Amino acid sequence: MLSDPAAAISVAFDKDGILEEMCNGKGYIDMSTVDAETSIKISEGVTSKGGRFLEAPVSGSKKPAEDGQLIILAAGEKGLYDEAIPIFDVLGKKSFFLGQVGNGAKMKLVVNMIMGSMMNGFSEGLELTEKSGLDPRTLLDVLDLGAMANPMFKMKGPSMLKSNYPPAFPLKHQQKDMRLALALGDENAVSMPVAAAANEAFKKARSMGLGDQDFSAVHETVKGPKHP
């Protein structure tokens, strides 16, 4: 579970790397979150040596990882996936096999794109509540009782109201994922006006110097001056 594409490539291809000892029958599972191209490149390296490859990025951050409650989005060699299930059952609460290499990365982009649109819709609602003279903490309570109740609103809402954004998932990474998801839409001619508007809000937040804060810091972009 490496930090980024460069690290994943390095561990696979560099001196003393994975490929040097790769051979027939061996399997390599990369659980990093990388783009589909990186994943495919590593896969080709592994299989050219006779090995088997599985990408297995995860959904969930620090706490779910500690609790073994990750969601595992695997794709690649089905036989290797089957062998890995006992390990995945320890690390995660659920694993999915999604087909060919690259599909794990794509599924993760879609999930994060929806997350970004939700976060913006939520953030706009909090601000509208406050500027309309209502108590935004009541909005949190109302949302948590209804059809839109979800852990993210519950977890992030209270600190957003305090303009407090400790980075569980940095905004610049969230914006990068939205950009990549929109690029995936571009390839497939899928028009996504709400995700595009959300992406521009994250870019606005970056221009305000909020890239290293939690992605919920996009809340700052909808704020105008405070009521007197």
Residues 40-69 contacting its own copies, CB under 8 A: 59-60
The single-letter DSSP state of residue 215 is G
85 binds its own copies (CB under 8 A): no
Residue 132 touches its own copies, criterion: CB under 8 A: yes
Residue from 111, 161, 167, 173 binding its own copies (CB under 8 A) = 111
Residue pair 211/170 in contact (Cβ under 8 Å)? The answer is: yes
Closest distance of CB 157 from its own copies, Å: 11
Distance between CA 211 and CA 176 in Å, rounded?
10
124 lies in the site for its own copies, by CB under 8 A: yes
> Could you give the CA distance from residue 44 to residue 47 in angstroms, rounded to a whole number?
5
Give the C-alpha separation, 112 to 59, whole Å. 9
Q: Report d(CA 179, CA 61) in Å as an integer.
A: 20
Catalytic-residue membership of 93: no
Query: Considering only 12-20, 25-33, 44-52, 120-128, which stretch makes contact with its own copies by CB under 8 A?
Result: 120-128
**Is 212 near its own copies (CB under 8 A)?**
no
Q: Is 194 in the site for its own copies (CB under 8 A)?
A: yes
**Footprint (CB under 8 A) of its own copies, residues 7-26:** none
- CA-to-CA dists, residue 224 to 132, 210, 220, angstroms: 13, 16, 9
- Characterize the bridge pairing of strands 70-76 and 52-55: antiparallel
**Between residues 45 and 95, which has the closer beta carbon with respect to its own copies?**
95
Residue ranges in 148-177 that form contacts with its own copies under rule CB under 8 A: 148-152, 155
Q: Where are the alpha helices (DSSP H) in 49-97?
A: 62-66, 78-91
Question: Binder to its own copies among 113, 140, 160, 217 (CB under 8 A)?
Answer: 113
For residue 185, state whether it binds its own copies (rule: CB under 8 A): yes
Q: Report if residue 201 touches its own copies, rule: CB under 8 A.
A: yes
Q: In this chain, which stretch among 7-15, 19-27, 80-88, 96-104 interacts with its own copies, using CB under 8 A?
A: 96-104
Which pair of tokens denotes residue 158? 């209270």
Please list the residues that pair with 30 across neighbouring strands. 55
Member of 52, 116, 165, 220 binding its own copies (CB under 8 A): 116
In sequence order, which residues have a C-beta less than 8 Å from that of residue 160 and are 6 or more positions away? Answer: 123, 126, 216, 219
CB 109 within 8 A of CB 51: no
* 190 touches its own copies (CB under 8 A): yes
Judged by beta carbon, residue 10 or residue 138, the one nearer its own copies is 138
Active-site residues: which are they? 108
